[in-house]
Amino acid sequence: MSDSLLRVEVDGPVVHLRLNRPDKRNAMNEALVRELHATFVNLPRETRVAVVSGEGAHFSAGLDLSEVTEQSVAEGIFHSRLWHAAFDQIQYGPMPVIAVLHGAVVGGGLELAATAHLRVAESSAFYGLPEGQRGIFVGGSGSARIPRLIGVSRMTDMMLTGRVFDATEGHAAGFSNYLVGEGQGLAKAMELARKVATNAPLSNYAVTQALPRIADMPQSDGLFVESLMSAIAQGDEAAKQRVRDFLEKRAGKVGKSS
Ligand code: 1HE
């Protein structure tokens, strides 16, 4: 466990990363983005699922605006690419990532949330893209990832008009997979993480890595990749054992509560 801008705690198969800059509403400065990148590159090998949350009353106020004013155009590009590298490492790293959202989930904070594979939102969560009002544009992969959650039209509205979605509206729009009461997000995310951790690792890998890539491909290419991924996952001993378990009545059935 470290006590820096990002607190890291291991709980069995789950690694919990907590943005730890509550006095600045978890605004992400360059040091925090670099720390996110390094942490996701070096996730503890014994863990299977990561949970990301924010310390204090807000998930994240996005880009640390105090670092923007003096940047040249070239520095702005390099800075944005740094975010891309960190966020790609989150989406395309070795394990599923679940974000816990509460309070402000705005700007770069929303871009970070969109990078996770699942999102649990508390009733206090609100979503905004104030870049339009600040005279800037998204630079942390939001233009690619946020429309995949809510569509280009809703994102355009948020950026042009400053429209803010509350937790209920955001859930209906597609920002969150689960909507829970205030203070219940982390427990729900940990419960989901422990469940996801019981899946075969290669199966989780296929879902988090192949699925978004196939969605980006022309259908015939995507279906070819699907065949390969499916055969690779099926060929793994973990899959064979799970199928045998079902056929020999040792595995659970599919039910509404599973
Ligand atoms: C900050 C930031 C920040 C807070 N950069 N310092 N993001 C935004 O435009 C969101 C700006 N922040 C806010 O609208 C509000 O701070 C919140 C709604 C998130 C929270 O409000 P509140 O009343 O709880 O806190 P506060 O009093 O506004 O802020 C507390 C401190 O955090 C204060 O500093 P202090 O030294 O006066 O105590 C704020 O200045 C500081 N703070 N947010 C820097 N964002 C890769 S491109 C991404 C592009 C973007 O993300 S643009 C969107 C930026």
Distance 23 CA to ligand 1 centre (A): 10
Task: Locate the ligand 1 atom nearest the alpha carbon of residue 63 and give its number.
Answer: 51
Report the pocket of ligand 1 as residue ranges, CB < 6 Å.
24-25, 27, 58, 61-66, 83, 104, 106-108, 130-131, 134, 136, 138-140
Residue in 20, 24, 25 to alter for ligand 1 test, most ligand atoms within 8 A of Cβ: 25
Q: Which atom of ligand 1 is nearest to the CA of 133?
A: 9
How far is Cα of residue 61 from the mean position of the Cα atoms in its chain?
16
Report pLDDT for 1.
41
Distance (Å) from CA 108 to ligand 1 centroid: 11
**pLDDT, one tens digit for every residue, the chain (258 residues):** 445 999 999 999 999 999 999 999 999 999 999 999 999 999 999 999 999 999 999 999 999 999 888 889 999 999 999 999 999 999 999 999 999 999 999 999 999 999 999 999 999 999 999 998 899 999 999 999 999 999 999 999 999 999 999 999 999 999 999 999 999 999 999 999 999 999 999 999 999 999 999 999 999 999 999 999 999 998 888 888 888 888 889 898 888 765
Residue 258: the pLDDT is 54
Cα 61 to ligand 1 centroid, rounded to whole Å: 5
**Residues in contact with 106: Cβ distance below 8 Å, sequence separation at least 6, in sequence order:** 60, 61, 62, 126, 127, 128, 129, 130
Q: For residues 29 and 144, what is the distance between their CA atoms, to the nearest angstrom?
A: 21
Q: Determine which residue's CA is closest to atom 34 belonging to ligand 1.
A: 24
Task: Enter the DSSP assignment of 26.
Answer: T
* Known catalytic residue at 131: yes
> Cβ contacts of residue 233 below 8 Å, gap of 6+?
200, 202, 203, 206, 239
The per-residue pLDDT for 30 is 95
Ligand 1 centroid to Cα of residue 199, in Å, is: 39
Question: How many Å lie between the centroid of ligand 1 and the Cα of residue 180?
Answer: 25
- Other Cβ atoms less than 10 A from the Cβ of 134: the count is 14
**Catalytic one of 9, 70, 111, 191:** 111
Distance of CA 105 to the CA centre of its chain: 12
Ligand 1 atom 41 nearest Cα: 24
Tell the burial category of 139 from Cβ atoms under 10 Å away from its Cβ (0-12, 13-18, 19+): buried
Tell me which residue has its CA closest to atom 20 in ligand 1: 25
**DSSP assignment string, the chain:** --BSSEEEEEETTEEEEEE--GGGTT-B-HHHHHHHHHHHHT--TT--EEEEEESTT-SB--B-GGGTTT--HHHHHHHHHHHHHHHHHHHTSSS-EEEEE-SEEETHHHHHHHHSSEEEEETT-EEE-THHHHT----SSHHHHHHHHH-HHHHHHHHHH---EEHHHHHHHTS-SEEE-TT-HHHHHHHHHHHHHTS-HHHHHIIIIIHHHHHTS-HHHHHHHHHHHHHHHHHSHHHHHHHHHHHTT-SPPP-TT-
Q: Which of 9, 35, 67, 131 is catalytic?
A: 131
Contact 11, 193 (CB under 8 A): no
If you measure from the C-alpha of residue 24 to the centroid of ligand 1, how many angstroms do you get, rounded to a whole number? 6
Write out the DSSP string of 142-168: HHHHHHHHH-HHHHHHHHHH---EEHH
Of ligand 1's listed atoms, the one at least distance from the Cα of 24 is 32
Residue 111 appears among annotated catalytic residues: yes
How far is residue 238's CA from residue 199's CA, in Å, rounded to a whole number? 9
